């Protein structure tokens, strides 16, 4: 088949089946972005950020390998794991990793002066946003789900039969399921927010830090305001609650818990709304590298 025929056939196909074209374009974008960004030297610090708790727990497992397991110790370690996930991963690890991954999707290409290649192909800019967002989500989820799974396995493996029983006969598996779900939702929520920030601001680091501050102090605000933070929904989906300690405890307003499906729905709605904003913003974007 001649080149002209190939071109004509592709044009006909895209006119007749635009949704299939969008699907195919998203798939190509995701594959290309993941291939380019998952295993690169620039991402090493993200892998380290995700693996630090795993390495600490691994060290602990190696040093305390002869310690006798006890049910009380399992309860304590369950609290420790909850602390690692809720305080380290949600507030620091996933937050900063998503900041790095998602702000780089468009702003990074602007810095590297390669974004025009993405704007010169027959792809709707909304499709570009969705494709890039999904590639970021896949990278973030792959890294942090692996890390959370690693923490969980190492945490209970050192208890031998007692640990196995806690995981398979007790609440362990359901807790793991919750952590997997919450980690994925955290990547989605923070990812969408950082993607939008990168399209709104030339330097998204400053609004990112403001967002971090907001996520930290949101618990001292009234319940309705707390609903505007990602952590609010994540906290209510976590299987183990952490006691509120420290100076913030006296200011903290305990909001009424939300049902899990509302929390999931709330986060998904927030993600979709912010993505819609990104789709709007991308149409205003111009290639003016010299102004960056």
Partner 1 sequence: MTPDARKIVFENVSKFYGEVLGVNKVNFSLEPGITSLVGPNGSGKTTLMNLLTGLIRPSHGAIYVLGLTPRQPIEFFRQVGFCTQFDSFPPGTNGYDFIYWPLRLHGFGSHQAAKLTNEALDRAGMAQVAQRKVAGYSKGMRQRIRLAQAIAHHPSVLVLDEPLNGLDPMARAESISLFETIAKQGMHVIISSHILEEVDRISDRVVLMSSGYVVAEGAIREVRKEVRDHPMQILVRCSNAARLAAAAFELDHVVEAKILNDGHGVLVRTRDAEQFYLLLNKIVSDGLVEVDAVAPADDDVNSIYQYLIGSDSGPA
Residues near partner 1, by CB under 8 A? 3-4, 6-7, 9-11, 13-14, 18, 21, 24-25, 28-29, 32, 36, 40, 112-114, 116-117, 119-125, 286-289, 291
Q: In terms of CB distance, is 121 or 248 closer to partner 1?
A: 121
Minimum Å gap between C-beta 36 and partner 1 is 7
Q: Measure the CA–CA gap between 14 and 12, rounded to whole angstroms.
A: 6
Minimum Å gap between C-beta 131 and partner 1 is 9
Minimum Å gap between C-beta 278 and partner 1 is 17
- Among 105, 98, 97, 120, CA closest to 34: 105
CB of 126 within 8 A of CB of 279? yes
Q: In terms of CB distance, is 28 or 244 closer to partner 1?
A: 28
Q: In terms of CB distance, is 128 or 155 closer to partner 1?
A: 128
Q: Measure the CA–CA gap between 253 and 221, rounded to whole angstroms.
A: 7
Residues 6+ positions from 91 with CB-CB distance below 8 Å: 212, 215, 216, 231
Between CA 188 and CA 115, with CA 44 as vertex, the angle to 5 degrees is 65
Minimum Å gap between C-beta 50 and partner 1 is 22
Q: In terms of CB distance, is 244 or 285 closer to partner 1?
A: 285
Q: Which two tokens stand for residue 73?
A: 């110790």
- Write down how long the chain is: 292
Q: Measure the CA–CA gap between 129 and 205, rounded to whole angstroms.
A: 20
Q: In terms of CB distance, is 231 or 278 closer to partner 1?
A: 278
Minimum Å gap between C-beta 272 and partner 1 is 23
Minimum Å gap between C-beta 263 and partner 1 is 36
Q: In terms of CB distance, is 78 or 135 closer to partner 1?
A: 135
Q: What is the DSSP string of 7-45?
A: HHHHHHHHHH-HHHHHHHHHHHHHHHHHHHHTT-GGGHH
């Amino acid at each position: 088949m001649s080149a002209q025929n190939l071109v004509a056939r592709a044009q006909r196909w895209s006119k007749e089946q635009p949704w299939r074209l969008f699907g195919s374009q998203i798939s190509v974008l995701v594959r290309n972005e993941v291939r380019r960004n998952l295993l690169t030297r620039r991402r090493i610090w993200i892998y380290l950020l995700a693996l630090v708790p795993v390495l600490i727990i691994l060290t602990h497992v190696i040093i305390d390998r002869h310690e006798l397991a006890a049910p009380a110790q399992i309860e304590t370690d369950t609290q420790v794991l909850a602390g690692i996930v809720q305080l380290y991963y949600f507030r620091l690890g996933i937050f900063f990793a998503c900041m790095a991954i998602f702000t780089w999707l468009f702003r990074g290409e602007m810095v590297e002066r390669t974004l025009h290649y993405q704007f010169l192909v027959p792809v709707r800019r909304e499709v570009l946003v969705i494709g890039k967002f999904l590639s970021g989500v896949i990278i973030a989820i792959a890294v942090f789900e692996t890390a959370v799974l690693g923490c969980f396995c190492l945490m209970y493996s050192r208890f031998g039969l007692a640990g196995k029983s806690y995981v398979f006969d007790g609440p362990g598996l359901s807790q793991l399921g919750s952590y997997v779900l919450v980690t994925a939702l955290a990547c989605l929520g923070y990812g969408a927010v950082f993607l939008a920030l990168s399209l709104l601001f030339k330097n998204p680091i400053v609004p990112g830090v403001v967002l971090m501050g907001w996520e930290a102090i949101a618990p001292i605000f009234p319940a309705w305001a707390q609903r505007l933070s990602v952590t609010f929904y994540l906290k209510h989906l976590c299987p183990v609650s952490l006691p509120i300690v420290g100076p913030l405890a006296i200011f903290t307003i305990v909001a009424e818990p939300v049902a899990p499906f509302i929390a999931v729905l709330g986060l998904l709605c927030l993600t979709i709304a912010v993505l819609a904003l990104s789709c709007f913003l991308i149409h205003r974007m111009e290639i003016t590298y010299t102004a960056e």
